[in-house]
Structure 1
Amino acid sequence: MTTMTLFRSVTLTLVVWIIFVCSVVKSQTLTQKLDLLMRNASVTMNDEYLCSSYKLPANDQYIVQYEALANAGTAHHILLFGCDEPASSEDYWHCGRLCKSQEQILFAWAKNAPRLNLPKDVGFHVGGQTSIKYIVIQVHYVNPLPPGSLDTSGIRLSMTSLRQRYEAGIYLLLAYSVRIPSNSVNVFADISCQFKASGPIYPFGFRTHAHSLGTVISGYQVNNTYNLIGKGNPQWPQAFYPVENKVVIQRDDYLVGRCTYNSTGRNRTTYIGASHNDEMCNFYIMYYADRNTRLQYHSCAGNNNPRLIQKLPAYSYQQLPPNPLLEMAAHGPSGHMGDPEGHSPSPIVTAAPVTMAPTPAPTQAPTKPTTRKPETVTHLMDFESDFGGSSSGGSPTPGSEVVIGQVGGVATDKQGNVYVFHRGERVWNGLSFDQYHVFQQKNRPIKANCIVVYNSAGQVIRQFGKDMFFMPHGISVDDKLNVWVTDVGLHQVMRFPPNSDQADLVLGQRFQPGKGDNLFCKPTDVEVLSTGEFFISDGYCNSRILKYDKAGTLIREFGSSSIATFGTAEPGSGTFNVPHSMTLAEDKGLLCVADRENGRIQCFDLDGNFQLMIHSPEFGDRIFAVSYCRLHGGLLFAVNGPSLSGTPPVQGFIIDINDGQLIETWNAKPGLRQPHDIEVDPVNLRVYVGELDPTKVWRFDMKADDGTGGRGNIIHSGTTPSSSGTTINATFVETQETNKKSLTQEEEIMPAIIIGALLVIPIIIIIVIVIVIRIYKKGQHDCCGRHRSRPRKKFNIGNFLTPHRGFDRLSQEGSDTEFDPLNDDSDEEEEYSITRKA
């Protein structure tokens, strides 16, 4: 092979490589982000609707991802509309009109829904030659903002100029005339119409929207049979959930929707309307279709074919099984009607995105998505037994007649007795409180004895509290055997003397949430010093700790809300996002607080001065409860809570209070699911964990202190100690400063690394080829420098680079493996119907 032939081969290879690198560079620059934010909006009225507009790029764009930069405590919902020209050019305006001409729904968000990633090859076509030159963002604010506060809630778009194979759209089913009588169950609002379009559409996501009375919303495609598109609980995060059935909506098919309401506890009639005190009925269908498909209408309003409603399956209004994770994620401590047993109110929602099915070719319907299971967790410790109760609906504990409900709190006394504060038949959900934190079932006290006392063998020795409590939460027992409880429904703290079922001290005003010396808003826990002074964590609304003398006179308060500083890498010390549980380490002079939604433990001296913070990545996003034990030099026992992503696992922790080291993790054999409280019994060397679901109390045994300060395995099952586990170092934080790198920074760095690596490879290839050429040339001469008459055939680089001539036949079969799953987020018709109404 001649040098010229080799040079041509090398040149061709480098040209191909450069084209490839350029295509990678181009693909990295084609995606851009656009933040659609309210421009420092001032909100001064209840149920304010404000709009702002953004001009799109001049070239065609495809929206492939939506991410909320908002939280449910501020924004009731956010809608995006596309239009040719907005109704106003002001920075923001009161939403009477959205656009000067027809608007098109692009997205909807509410109740802390996670981000939405569209399937691969699918995008909302905007900008360029389309009729959507602007996007108008509409935000509904339920309550005014604090004086001097300005809002910048919004949605972040990820767009690409690469032409997508399919175009996405939203089709809306809505009811506009509904009357919901007071104190009624299963009130229906029905929707039906005939679908008109030039071609089929393929639903891949659905979203439901209603206000506080909505219990379930379902949507169907009807073509001789009723095919379920989706069914959702509007009290969960109002995201676009995957369409699990294979549904193709053809021209002239019928679409049917049903909204179901429960107005129990509301003594007035409710109608469809704009305010949060009214109702809505919306079922959104997110679909993809061929680029040439055109819809005659993008919405269906009212019940246009009543005969279809008569044959709706009964399943359409049957409620979905409870899902505490979704209920918890939907509401914030400062938001509406929430189930504050867990949620994430941060501006960029930390809940895992809802995964959609990959996009199939237009000849088939979407397939059901697969969910990756969390990695298997090695349990360092096994549970000893469940203790003093049974799961909901189960049989009573052997030897007793007690069936406990959701466990709000667990406590022990100096005699080793166990106190369980449970909710009987009551369940905390999105209907329990209104937006002002007022409990909605004031005339329905819990009929069960909510306080049950067991001896160390698990036998019931006392129970009381029937018809006394409304939403039990925390419980503790002081050195004098006084029983202290908090009721978040009553917004009160009570003290019961030993062996008495009548409180001798009550703090807070019955059913009155507030902030003051004798007003609480969903108080969570009580801790009592040996002197009789005590602390109250005023948890869900006020984010503060209060200290009282033994007579109940306020001494001081400390703490503030972390929500005001959200978006920082680490909220400041002394700020809380639901101080959910407390424990006293009186020998250390410390009060430690489970700062639940910040996923950390903060410790203060007994005057409220911050001392230390323990924030381990093993905790995850939430720490529910903490309890102190003097053994082994001082230990904190804690439990975290579940997350939508499933990682890290729900488990227990043992922490050295002296240096913040995470010593050990432990779990029950079936795995803890929703632990709510934890208590250490140093008398019998046991740890008790109370769960919301299943409604159980678990008992774990501790290893006795050997007096040497060694720890070994502190919790074990029965008399058989577990094998030694690896010590995990926790992050010990004394300041709020961190050096965490933001996601956007990582996104910016990674393409540069990839492109740099691709550019280096040709240089390496050139060096290798130069070496080969020199070897080749050397091989053309003998040892004396004479030119060989025939080249060696052992190594032919020409054959290596070009093994055959001509081109391979191009495959014309489409690939089914390129589609990506979709993440989720959304909320909509409420605003859509309001703008129409206006």
Structure 2
Amino acid sequence: MNSRRKFIQNSSLLGLAMSIKPDFSLFAAQDQILGHGDFKYKIDPTWGNLDPAKVPVVNCHEMVMDRKGRMIMLTDEAKNNVIIYDQAGKLLDTWTLNLDRAHGLSIVDEGDAEYLWVVDNGGRVLKTTLSGTIVAEIASPLSEGIYEEKMRWVPTETAVAPNGDLYIADGYGSQYFLQYDKNGNFIRKFGGPGQGDSQFSTAHGIAVDQRGGKEPTLLCTSRGHNSFKRFTLDGNYLETIFLPGAFVCRPVIHGENLFAGVCWSRLRYLEQTDNSGFVTILNKDNKVVSNPGGTAPEYRDGQLQLMVQSEPVFKHCHDVCIDQDENIYVCQWNAGKTYPIKLTRV
């Protein structure tokens, strides 16, 4: 009887531990250095872990940092779509829009206040205050005559240009990027499905690139093409940044560098294994300089070689957020309802 009681007790403790953090590989890797060159990191395996009975998550889709240094994360758990942390990983606040497909999160500073753009794969694109009050919503392009009947509308991401124009990526729908002015009036769409330079396969993310003091341009994800594609703010194609083997999500600009979560690496995608993806970092010249969790970047005759996951640490890296100390916070999709992973730069 005592042995049975002890077995049940130990099983219960193990179950509790797994509900809090089911991926024990993080603890095994906590002393391991991930990354390459000047961009190396250690894992903080306990950062941001919460009680899933009180603050549950499904997928930790995206994260942004506000001007107070708070980390604001979006999940598709309708009980608490937004979870706000301090940089020590302590819970500050939660709120919800009751969205069960919440996917994209962008932050914009309008001077008087900061606002969030929240994208739900169910077709909603919402502008909110940092406390969750809805202040604007973009109507479906189907209802506005922008899309033809039966075209799919499954938006994934937004970005805001310096003049206030809003860009929406229809990454799981019809593969277009839609541009609106600051008042929500439709201007144009560009992209669409296909294999051409200006066409997309999973137009998942978008960011405004102003690095180096250059004129702002748009970096647009074409995940199925393992690439970012650069466009003018008017939707004209400029170039492709090819990242062989890497199914990249949205581009994230920090300083002179470009960061992205890789949801799958090519070999893991083909094998359909649980552990997949890594983080990729590009310099100001858009050359890959580090792949935390992935193989070291290699160029031959100027051509980037195939990149794959090398360490089974991550499960489908969906987004990254970079703080003022160059630490990386990794949000994951299809990762066992785990919380974000902090990579501390070393």
- Equivalent residue number for residue 450 of structure 1: 81
Aligned partners of 1:529 and 1:586 also within 8 Å = no
- Equivalent residue number for residue 15 of structure 2: none
Structure 1, residues 582-625: CA drift from partner, whole Å, max 9, x if none? 22223441211221111111122222222221113252xx2223
Aligned partners of 1:416 and 1:684 also within 8 Å = no
Aligned AA (1:583)? A
Q: Does 1:461 align with 2:92?
A: yes
Distance in 2 (alpha carbons) for counterparts of 1:402 and 1:601: 34
Higher strand share: 2
Question: How many residues end up aligned between the 2 structures?
Answer: 279
Distance in 1 (alpha carbons) for counterparts of 2:272 and 2:336: 17
Q: Does 1:694 align with 2:316?
A: no
* Greater relative CO (CA pairs within 8 A, separation 6+): 2
Aligned partners of 1:389 and 1:403 also within 8 Å = no
Aligned partners of 1:604 and 1:611 also within 8 Å = yes
Aligned partners of 1:382 and 1:666 also within 8 Å = no
Equivalent residue in structure 2 for 1:482, among 107, 115, 121 = 115
Aligned partners of 2:276 and 2:316 also within 8 Å = no
Aligned AA (1:679)? C
- Equivalent residue number for residue 580 of structure 1: 204
- Equivalent residue number for residue 14 of structure 2: none
Q: Does 1:627 align with 2:270?
A: no
What pairs up with 1:204-353 in 2 under 5 angstroms? none
Query: TM-score, structure 2 length as denominator?
Result: 0.72
Alpha-carbon distance change, 458 to 617 in structure 1, aligned in 2, over 3 angstroms: same
What pairs up with 1:522-533 in 2 under 5 angstroms? 522-533=154-165
Aligned AA (1:474)? G
- Equivalent residue number for residue 116 of structure 1: none
- Equivalent residue number for residue 61 of structure 2: 408
Aligned AA (2:317)? P
Alpha-carbon distance change, 488 to 423 in structure 1, aligned in 2, over 3 angstroms: same
Alpha-carbon distance change, 386 to 548 in structure 1, aligned in 2, over 3 angstroms: farther
Equivalent residue in structure 2 for 1:521, among 120, 141, 153 = 153
Aligned partners of 1:388 and 1:458 also within 8 Å = yes
Q: Does 1:505 align with 2:136?
A: yes
Equivalent residue in structure 1 for 2:70, among 417, 422, 430 = 417
Aligned partners of 2:259 and 2:279 also within 8 Å = yes
Q: Does 1:678 align with 2:320?
A: yes
- Equivalent residue number for residue 261 of structure 2: 639
Equivalent residue in structure 2 for 1:665, among 291, 300, 305 = 291
Q: Does 1:472 align with 2:102?
A: yes
Distance in 1 (alpha carbons) for counterparts of 2:69 and 2:109: 12
Aligned AA (1:652)? V
SS of alignment partner, residue 541 of structure 1: coil
Aligned partners of 1:539 and 1:580 also within 8 Å = yes
- Equivalent residue number for residue 607 of structure 1: 234
Alpha-carbon distance change, 626 to 383 in structure 1, aligned in 2, over 3 angstroms: farther
Distance in 1 (alpha carbons) for counterparts of 2:108 and 2:191: 24
SS of alignment partner, residue 224 of structure 2: helix
Aligned partners of 1:674 and 1:691 also within 8 Å = yes
Q: Does 1:594 align with 2:221?
A: yes
Alpha-carbon distance change, 699 to 574 in structure 1, aligned in 2, over 3 angstroms: same
- Equivalent residue number for residue 302 of structure 2: none
Aligned partners of 1:514 and 1:521 also within 8 Å = no
Alpha-carbon distance change, 470 to 616 in structure 1, aligned in 2, over 3 angstroms: closer
Distance apart, 1:525 and its partner CA:
0.3
Structure 1, residues 507-553: CA drift from partner, whole Å, max 9, x if none? 12499899539x97110001113332221101112111112111111
SS of alignment partner, residue 644 of structure 1: helix
Alpha-carbon distance change, 611 to 416 in structure 1, aligned in 2, over 3 angstroms: farther
SS of alignment partner, residue 249 of structure 2: strand
Identity %: 22
- Equivalent residue number for residue 22 of structure 1: none
Distance in 1 (alpha carbons) for counterparts of 2:141 and 2:48: 30
Structure 1 runs of 4+ aligned residues shifted over 4 Å read: 509-515, 646-649
Distance in 2 (alpha carbons) for counterparts of 1:496 and 1:529: 17
Distance in 2 (alpha carbons) for counterparts of 1:618 and 1:541: 23
Distance apart, 1:484 and its partner CA:
0.7
Q: Which protein has the larger Cα radius of gyration, Structure 1 or Structure 2?
A: 1
Distance in 1 (alpha carbons) for counterparts of 2:74 and 2:143: 22
Distance apart, 1:456 and its partner CA:
1.8
- Equivalent residue number for residue 655 of structure 1: 282
Aligned AA (2:331)? G
Alpha-carbon distance change, 545 to 388 in structure 1, aligned in 2, over 3 angstroms: same
Aligned AA (2:343)? F
SS of alignment partner, residue 220 of structure 2: strand
Distance in 1 (alpha carbons) for counterparts of 2:320 and 2:47: 13
Alpha-carbon distance change, 510 to 456 in structure 1, aligned in 2, over 3 angstroms: farther
Distance in 2 (alpha carbons) for counterparts of 1:606 and 1:670: 38
Gaps of 5+ in 2: 1-31, 36-40, 295-310
Structure 1, residues 405-438: CA drift from partner, whole Å, max 9, x if none? 21222222232211111122xxxxxxxxxxxxxx
Distance in 2 (alpha carbons) for counterparts of 1:626 and 1:543: 17
Alpha-carbon distance change, 386 to 638 in structure 1, aligned in 2, over 3 angstroms: farther
The two structures, once aligned, show a CA RMSD in angstroms of: 3.0
Distance in 2 (alpha carbons) for counterparts of 1:641 and 1:606: 27
Aligned partners of 1:537 and 1:580 also within 8 Å = yes
Distance apart, 1:636 and its partner CA:
1.0
Aligned partners of 2:118 and 2:127 also within 8 Å = yes
Aligned partners of 1:386 and 1:697 also within 8 Å = no
Alpha-carbon distance change, 378 to 477 in structure 1, aligned in 2, over 3 angstroms: closer
Distance apart, 1:646 and its partner CA:
6.5
Distance in 2 (alpha carbons) for counterparts of 1:597 and 1:516: 23
Aligned AA (1:636)? L
SS of alignment partner, residue 251 of structure 2: strand
Aligned AA (1:483)? L
Distance in 1 (alpha carbons) for counterparts of 2:180 and 2:144: 19
